[in-house]
Structures are given as structure tokens and as C-alpha cells.
Chains A and B, each alone.
Chain A
Amino acid sequence: MPSKTVPLHVNGRIARITVDDPDMPLLYVLRDNLELKGPRFGCGLGQCGACTVHLAGKAVRSCITPLSAVGKKQIVTLEGLSGSASKLVAIQEAFVAEQAAQCGYCISGMIMEAAAFLARHKNPDEAQIKQALANNLCRCGTHLRIVRAVKRAAAGA
């Protein structure tokens, strides 16, 4: 299949991506073509949430989202939440304040999932936060801190 260049809306800009397989998952475009470090490869199966990005405002698993399904929808990665590498938005600051990371490999997905959730639920209780993150896996056992960070972000929003 001949390679093709397509425009992609990432973090408020337009990137031109050359690909030879329209079914390539978005994750590899973001990580390999654009050298972004926010979206992480965890399973490639949509099971763990480490690769979560926002697509048209919704949290999606970029590892099972084919590039062909993206079109002109806006993609936001962890790097794009604040629009500046040197600035953090409230939810990122909340994760720092709660020291809500160990290895941190899952944290990008946690923040992206939580940010999309908080955009729709202004005053969630703890059970709702836990349910919202039920399909994001953390292996280090940072869950309680992550929940506290999301609560803190919700309270400050």
C-alpha cells in the first residue's frame, strides 16, 4: 500500500502524518511519528488505559483507535492539557500535591480519563471517581492517592 500524508489535529495544531497503513493505531502515530511521551503503550488491547487521549473531548484508548477513525477530530494528549510544557493544569497540579504516582507509567492515562470525567461531572463523590477509573489499571497501588488527587481537582474546579 502506498504511503499517504494526512492532517491530524493534535494539541491545538495540525500535524501532517505520513503513514502506509490507515489502520495503524493512533498510539503509534502519537508516540513514533510525533514523538509524544504522554500516551503510553500498556497493552495494545484497550484493557489498561495507559494510552488514553482525548478525541473530540472524549477519553479513548489510542492503542485500539485506528488512524482512519480519527479524521479531523481534535486529539489532546497529556502534553496538550495545558498548552505548555512548563505549565500544569489543575488536575496535574493535584496529582503533584497528592504525590499521586509511583512509577507513573499509568498516570498519563489516569489524568486523561479523570479530566474527561471531571469535564462532565462537577462534584463527583469517591465512589463515582472510583467507578470512572475502574478500567484504568495501576500496578504500583497508587489508587488511593489518585482518587484523592481527582477529588482535589474537582474541589478546585
Chain B
Amino acid sequence: MFLDKPTRREFLQGAGVLVVSFSLPSFVTAAGTESATASKTVALDEVDAYLAVNASGRVTLYSGKVELGTGVSTGLRQILAEELDVPLGRVALVEGDTDLTPAQGKTWGSLTIQAGGIQIRQAAATARQQLLQEAAKRLAVAPTELSVEDGVVRAHGAQVSYGELIGGKNFSIKLDKQAPLKAPATYKIVGKPVQRDDIPPKVAGQFTYVQDVRVPGMLHARVVRPPAIGAALQSVDESSITDIPGVVKVVRQNNFLAVVAETEWSAIRASRQLKANWSEWSGLPEQDKLWEYVRSTAVNKDDETSKVGDAQQALQGAGKRVSATYNFAINSHASMGPSCAVADFKDGKLTCWSASQAPHDLRSQIANMLSMKDGDVHVIYVEGSGCYGRNGHEDAAGDAALLARSMGHPVRVQWMRDEEHGWDPKGPPTLMDLEAGLDNEGKVVAWYSQLYVPEGGGGNVKLLAAEAAGLPCEKGLFPGNIINNSAIPYAFPNVHTVAHRLAQTPFRPSWIRAPGRMQNTFCNEAFLDEVAMAAGADPFEFRLRYLANDPRGTELLQRLMQLSKWQGRNSAKSAAGDVARGRGVTYVKYELSRTYVGAVADIEVSRKAGHIRVRRVAIVQDCGQIINPDGVRNQIEGNVVQTVSRTLKEEVTFDRSRVTSLDWNSYPILRFPDVPDIDIELIDRPTEKPWGVGEPAASVVPSAIANAVFDATGVRLRSVPFTPAKVRAALQNT
């Protein structure tokens, strides 16, 4: 069968149902400019920044927080629909568009519901209040006589819809912190496991990821990365690619080198074949001596993260002292889809389609790099592959922006697999020394920890393109707030936790999921297990003993004991045979201020092979008010699987010049046969604040496994990842 010149899309969509178009105007329309005008406010204190109601009663949510694949956009829509009293299906989403959405901050830190959702809830409550006041006038009744259902206001048999009340017009009011919120007991949408609306198009091949953005006249580019991180570009032989058809230009600016071609495949071939000379550079430490390197790095300052009593003095007088050093390897975000972006520079203005978790900040970074005004850069968020923190999305956007301006054509930059693994900013190496003191009755009298991590906090991680091209970019390190959870949730009489902030770290650092909280909780909770054993106590009972003033934490641990059918223990098993089985418990109060998570891991260790298999993880979580229980479960499952992977397998490897773990063989992650069963119990507290869920459960996994390995074998694993070689070595030393 052959059809007469069908369009490519009609042709391939089978029955000819054209769902998504690829041209620029329709793409932008899909992003929601339907009702937008140049005057749409994005001010954080304006209701119109967050929502609009059109004449037919359809509601658009304008969210500065973006969907990174966690399902959080469904949660945000639920919050808006609930508070406004409209059906969920009537709420459309526009996200992360710097012209249309308020700058609600980066989508990070498990703050999208907790912070962004609360802003949206207040905007909806304010809007609802105004709509009711207007309806009371129209219907000539007192506001207290009104009822609202599905966007229709009723009183005494008369009714008026939201569309009739406000349709297409602005609210023109500020967010009212006093606007009444609905009582959680009346909720119909929040707290329900509603299905995500992005999943049907994702399973049908109809979803537009940033990698699918196509604009007219678009060229394809590949950046040629140096063979050593700090190498300088000395010369380029453009004649080396003359046999490749469709190459448009080799772009070189200082150490930034890229090829631009008419087709993607030509760009790939040209980037591989292009001959370039780079200077030598070998500024990385030896991987085998990484921890000596970390320990000897200059300390720029100390951050004291907690101090109670005098831990040093109490240690001196302690009847028993326990000390250990823990470390956690350098990790990559290792996203499934390499980063990608499209940019277009026209008439002095730049448009960039990016999967950045921070479109507004990216706009400032691009503007800074290209010496433009923020207002002349328009960043439009389009979902990409899950990023789990600041991965390469922003860098790809920087690459595309630089190339688009250079070419005067729209340019698509797609990173290759080795770029994603090699050049995404890394979760920095984490090292912690810990010491505890016990009295003769086994009571903890002192806890002292010293954390060694790079200085800096959140911010904007410098763009690779800006640095390579010698253009303006950020100075300093931005590893995220990685000293969080270095302090502990236990009420010991003397506690001192200090973070030594290092002047440098081997790779450009950034935050990876549960940044610092995951690594620090590993160190703290595994060491706490050592202290519990030194005290001769069951690790559950030991934790409960010191959580006396935290009823939510106490309830959580008690429920976890039941869920996991915990049987008391105070020493490691000594089973014979090759396969040893054990279980370990761990607990976190995220940032000591929000979401509680406890976990029990059941593991098997093959002594000969050194292979650890996590068979089952039981999790109890209290994140306050739950917006979407299935979304929360999906996030917990994801956190567990991803962090089992980090704990058992993942480590960035490198030589003196560059990353050498550049694919899925050299940077392996957990596969289906090794994924544990996961039992989850959620503690829902509908009248409490909703807390974040995207990260916290990641932080309990490594220590649960470490403690279970001790339970099984009597051996402490203090260095993540727990590779077979390390496990075998640890077992041999006992």
C-alpha cells in the first residue's frame, strides 16, 4: 500500500490522528500562550501570576515549579482544583515559562509541594474568595449562603459559573494570606491517588520531551569536549571533516568547540572525526588516593551544624569510646536521556527550550553569558529525562544558546552518552569522622562528628559553555546545601557536629537527589548502629530512647517495627555457610525539620562473591498532609531503587585528566533482577502541612543496607559503594 504524498506525520500516526505538531507556533501554543498577553503578570504576590479562568471555565495553572518526572505537576493541579472547587480535568498546566510563570525558585530540595504548592493553594483560595464575593453580588445573597461545586456557585436555586464571573479577565488582586482555606475533611481531590495525565501520552509515544522539540530551520550541533577537563584548545583541522555532507560550520570560541550540521547524524559523525589539538592537563587527584586528597584539601571555613554541651570534654571522661570514618563516593546523576536543548536567536532576543529545573535562573545565566538583558532571554521548560538534581540540562542550554547566536539559526544540542556521564556536575566525595562516648551503663554521653565537603551552597552552577568560551560565568562552588543532616535527631547530652568546608573538590560539584542528606545520613545512621551495638542495645529501642521528645518520630519507628516484624537484636548473627542474611534499621528526620522516614532493609551477602542482594525494604514515611498517595509511593519506590543502586554499584571513576566511567558498563546501575521488594506504609496527617517527598526516602537506604550487612556478617561497611571487592576485603579482615 502506498499513499499519495501523505505528510510525514499523518503517514506515521496510523489512522491519521494528528496529536502534536512540531512547528514553532503550534509548539508555543501547546505551551499555553492561548490566553497570554504581553501583560500577563508573573509577580509572586499576584493571583494572576498563578492562575487564569477562561470563559468556558477552564482553569490554567501557571507554575514556576516544573515537572521533573516525579508526578508533582499532578499534585499541584490537585491542590489548585481542590482549593478552587473545579474538576481536576478542567485544570491545564503551563510550567517553567519565564514569560508566563512566576519565579517560584528551582524545582529542588523536595520543596515543590511544600513551598510552591502552598503559594498556589493561597492563590486559589484568594481567587475563590473573590469569585464568591462577586457571585454573592450577582445572585444578591450573602456569601455565607453560597455553595460551590465544579466551578459553579449556587444559592437558592440560582447559579453562576466561574467562567461567567471572571472568564478571560484578570483577578487583579494580591495573594491574601487570610483567605480561608478549605477544611481538609471536605477534600475530594487532594489526598486521592488520582492518575497522572502525562502517563498516557508517555506510553503512547505522543509525549514531547525536550529531545523532541523541532523548530523550523533548526540545525543540529554536537560539542567537541576536550580529552582532559582543563585542556586548552590549540588548533583545529577543519579539513578533517570535509567528506561529511551537511556540515555547516565548525564553531570555535576559546576552548569551546562544536560542529553544526544540517542533520543530527552528520553532526555526530563530524564531532567524532574532527581533528583538534588540545594541551595536556592532569589536574585531578589519583583515584586510589581520593580520601587522602579530600583530607588534605585546604579548609576555607568550619560550619558548626550543632553544638550541645561539651562533646570533647565528655568524650575524655567516657567509659567507652567508639570511633569510625565513613565515606561516600563521587556520584553522577546519570540520567537515562542525555541532556538536550534548542535555542533560537532572532532580533536580539533569545528563546531557549530546556529541561532545566530552574528556568528563571537559567535565563539569568544565559543572559549573563551572552551579555544580554534577562528580559531579552525567554526560557521555556520542556520536560526531559529525569535529572535528580542539577545535571547537564542547563549546560546543554548554554551550549545551544551560544551556538544559536553564533549561527543565526535555531540550533539543537543533544549531548551524547559519554558527555552526560563525563560532564554532568557531580555529587562531591563525602568524608566523615565520627566519635561517640558511652558511660558504664551504656548511655551515650557524647557525639562528635567532622564532615569534609566542599564549600558553597545552592546557587547557579556555572555553564560549561560560558567557561570554555571565556564568557562571563559564576565563580565558586555550588554543591547544594550538603551540610544538611550532618547534625543528628537524637537528644544526647553532648553533641558537636562540624563541617570542614573544603576549598576545592575534584569535579564541578552540584546537588544530586537528597544532596548531603543522603551521604550524611549514611554516615550518622551507620555509626549510630555501631554505638547501639557498643551499648548492647537493640537498634530500634536505642533510637526510641533518644527520640523522647519527638512523638511523630517515635510513632514512625513504632509503626516501622510492626511493618517489618522486627525482632529485637543486639549483636550480629554468626551464621555459617556462604549466604548470610541480615536486616538493618535506619531513620531520618529530613533536615531535622520535616519529612520523617524510617527503613528496614533485608539483605543477603554471598561471602565468596562479595555480592550483596537487597531483598526487601520496608519503609514508613510521615510527610504530613499527603496530596497524592500514589505519587508519594512512586517517589518512595524510586528513591529506594535509585539509592540501592548508588549504595551497591555507583562510583564515578577517573584518571588524572578526566572521568573514565563514560557509559552504563563503566558506571553500572541496578537492573531488574536485583531490584528489591518494597513495602510502604504512609502516615497521612491531613491537617498538617504537606512536606516534600522527592528526596527524603533516599537518605535512609545506604545505612539500612550497611546495618543489615553487619547484622548478617558482623562486618561494618563504611565506604559507599559496597562493591563486591570491598565486601570481600572487609570479610577477609574479620
B640-668 interface mask toward A, CB cutoff 8 Å, 1 = contact, 0 = none? 11100100000000000000000111000
Q: Which residues of A contact B417 (CB under 8 A)?
A: 42-45, 47
Q: B410-450: which have CB < 8 Å to A?
A: 414, 416-417
Pairwise interchain contact B669-A79, C-beta atoms closer than 8 A:
no
Q: Which residues of A contact B196 (CB under 8 A)?
A: 99, 101
Pairwise interchain contact A139-B669, C-beta atoms closer than 8 A:
yes
Q: Which residues of A contact B205 (CB under 8 A)?
A: 36-38, 77-79, 108
Pairwise interchain contact B663-A47, C-beta atoms closer than 8 A:
yes
A20 to B245, CA, bound (A): 8
Pairwise interchain contact A35-B337, C-beta atoms closer than 8 A:
no
Pairwise interchain contact A102-B245, C-beta atoms closer than 8 A:
no
Pairwise interchain contact B203-A1, C-beta atoms closer than 8 A:
no
B501-536 interface mask toward A, CB cutoff 8 Å, 1 = contact, 0 = none? 000000000000000000000000000000000000
Q: B331-386: which have CB < 8 Å to A?
A: 334-338, 383-386
Pairwise interchain contact A21-B265, C-beta atoms closer than 8 A:
yes
Q: A139-B669, A140-B386, A143-B672 are in contact. Are A105 and B209 (CB under 8 A)?
A: yes
Q: Which of A20, A41, A133 contacts B672 (CB 8 A)?
A: A133
Q: Which residues of A contact B641 (CB under 8 A)?
A: 141-144
Q: A59-82: which have CB < 8 Å to B?
A: 77-80, 82
Q: Which residues of B contact A137 (CB under 8 A)?
A: 336, 664, 669, 671
Whether B200 is near chain A, meaning CB under 8 Å from some CB there, is yes
Pairwise interchain contact A83-B15, C-beta atoms closer than 8 A:
yes
A38-53 interface mask toward B, CB cutoff 8 Å, 1 = contact, 0 = none? 1011111101101000
Whether B133 is near chain A, meaning CB under 8 Å from some CB there, is no
A11 to B1, CA, bound (A): 12
Q: A37-B206, A47-B665, A144-B678 are in contact. Are A13 and B70 (CB under 8 A)?
A: no
Whether B170 is near chain A, meaning CB under 8 Å from some CB there, is no
Pairwise interchain contact B386-A103, C-beta atoms closer than 8 A:
yes
Pairwise interchain contact B265-A145, C-beta atoms closer than 8 A:
no
Whether B718 is near chain A, meaning CB under 8 Å from some CB there, is no
Most chain B Cβ neighbours within 10 Å, of A32, A83, A138: A138
Q: Which of B14, B199, B212 contacts A83 (CB 8 A)?
A: B14
Most chain A Cβ neighbours within 10 Å, of B198, B200, B202: B202
A137 to B336, CA, bound (A): 8
Q: Which of the segments B5-13, B685-693, B706-714 contacts the partner chain?
A: B5-13
Q: A110-131: which have CB < 8 Å to B?
A: 111, 127, 129-131
Q: Which of A35, A79, A130, A131 contacts B22 (CB 8 A)?
A: A35
A146 to B338, CA, bound (A): 22
Most chain B Cβ neighbours within 10 Å, of A32, A84, A103: A103
* Chain B interface category by residue count: 35 or more
Q: Which residues of A contact B336 (CB under 8 A)?
A: 42, 48, 50, 103, 105-106, 137-140
A45 to B384, CA, bound (A): 20
Most chain A Cβ neighbours within 10 Å, of B12, B18, B665, B675: B12
A92-109 interface mask toward B, CB cutoff 8 Å, 1 = contact, 0 = none? 100110011111111110
Q: A85-B14, A133-B672 are in contact. Are A41 and B638 (CB under 8 A)?
A: no
What's the least CB distance linking A41 to chain B, in Å? 7
A142 to B11, CA, bound (A): 33
Pairwise interchain contact A99-B17, C-beta atoms closer than 8 A:
no
- The residue in chain A whose Cβ has the minimal distance to the Cβ of B13 is A85
A151 to B200, CA, bound (A): 18
Pairwise interchain contact B19-A86, C-beta atoms closer than 8 A:
yes
What's the least CB distance linking A75 to chain B, in Å? 11
Q: Which residues of B contact A50 (CB under 8 A)?
A: 336-337
Pairwise interchain contact A130-B673, C-beta atoms closer than 8 A:
yes
Q: Which residues of A contact B (CB under 8 A)?
A: 1, 3, 10-15, 20-21, 24-25, 28, 31-38, 40-45, 47-48, 50, 77-80, 82-86, 88, 92, 95-96, 99-108, 111, 127, 129-131, 133-147
Q: Which residues of B contact A (CB under 8 A)?
A: 1-3, 6, 8-9, 11-15, 17-20, 22, 68-71, 195-196, 198-200, 202-209, 211-212, 214, 245-246, 263-266, 269, 334-338, 383-386, 388, 414, 416-417, 630, 634, 637-642, 645, 663-665, 669-673, 675, 677-678
Which 8 residue pairs spanning A and B have beta carbons closest together? A103-B69, A141-B641, A38-B205, A103-B386, A104-B202, A78-B205, A141-B638, A130-B672
